[in-house]
Amino acid sequence: MSLRFCAERGAKAEKRKSEKIRKNSKKTAQKRRKSAENYRKIRKMMRTQKKKQIDKLAYEREMLALGAEYIAGVDEVGRGPLAGPVVCAAVILPLGENELIEGIDDSKKVREEERGRLAALIRERAIAYKICEADNRTIDRINILEATKLCMKNAVEGLSVQPDVVFVDGNFRLRIDLPQQNIVRGDALSYSIGAASILAKVYRDALMREYDAVYPQYGFAKHKGYGTKMHTDAIQEYGLCEIHRKTFTKKLLGEAESGGEQPISAPSATKF
């Protein structure tokens, strides 16, 4: 056997070995990709199942079993923005099987177009509802937590029908002469609170679009008053306007005074 033949044979063997390694590596990579895809599918399925398992009427059924007839949910929107009011809504909905509104959830989880449709249905079917707001001056004067509690109280007490019990989103008590139950993350767990969150969100978003027409330089229609880069850059350039919360913007402008613009009137709850 010649040296040349041995060398060629060795080269072929090495080539076959390399091809085998490449094929094995390719198969391993494919298996890993498939495993990753399966893992993602399983995780998605688990999240979907978990979401389906949430019974948003569990709290309501519990109270109905105890004899309650009218159950109000109350929630707020707009605690975090740098501008605009905090808005609260209270609503009493019929809870008969044929009267339920499908799709009610935490307003943050619902698409904007769907929120508008649901808000219209909620207002149409509600036994009673009330939307209130605490403006930026009130927030600066008594702080955001107290302003939120006051706003919620006003919404509940403004209902045309007195509820037997009030579901409050969060872990703080309201100064109302009615039985109340706190539900943390209630907008995602309670049908009644979820409906209130949608009413409040749709109302506040519409209000901020109106303010955008008066103060177009800030972009309120886009960010709704939240502290986005677009908003903070505008504050740095133009200063504060009449609806900015001074206690929320001190870090941006120190003790800056607001501009000379005049505030517009907020729309009434019956407008939406």
Query: Using only C-alpha atoms, what is the Rg of the chain?
Result: 28
- E strands in the chain: 71-77, 86-92, 128-134, 165-169, 180-183
Tell how strand 71-77 and strand 165-169 pair up.
parallel
Instruction: Name the DSSP class of 103.
Output: T
Instruction: Report the distance separating Cα 107 and Cα 83, nearest Å.
Output: 20
Q: How far apart, in whole angstroms, are the C-alpha atoms of residue 186 and residue 90?
A: 13
Helical axes 246-253 vs 229-238, angle rounded to 10° = 80
| Three-point CA angle 220, 270, 123, nearest 5° | 100
Which parts are annotated binding residues? 75-76, 169
- Provide the b/e sequence for 8-31 (b: ≥16 CB within 10 Å): eeeeeeeeeeeeeeeeeeeeeeee
How far is the C-alpha of 190 from the C-alpha of 104, rounded, in Å?
9
For residue 73, the one-letter residue type is G
Known binding-site residue numbers for a divalent metal cation? 75-76, 169
Q: What are the CA-CA distances from residue 198 to residues 43, 204, 261 (Å)?
A: 28, 10, 30
Angle, helices 58-65 vs 191-214, to 10°: value is 130
Measured distance CA(242)–CA(225) in Å, rounded: 12
What six digits make up the tokens of 6?
Answer: 């041995």
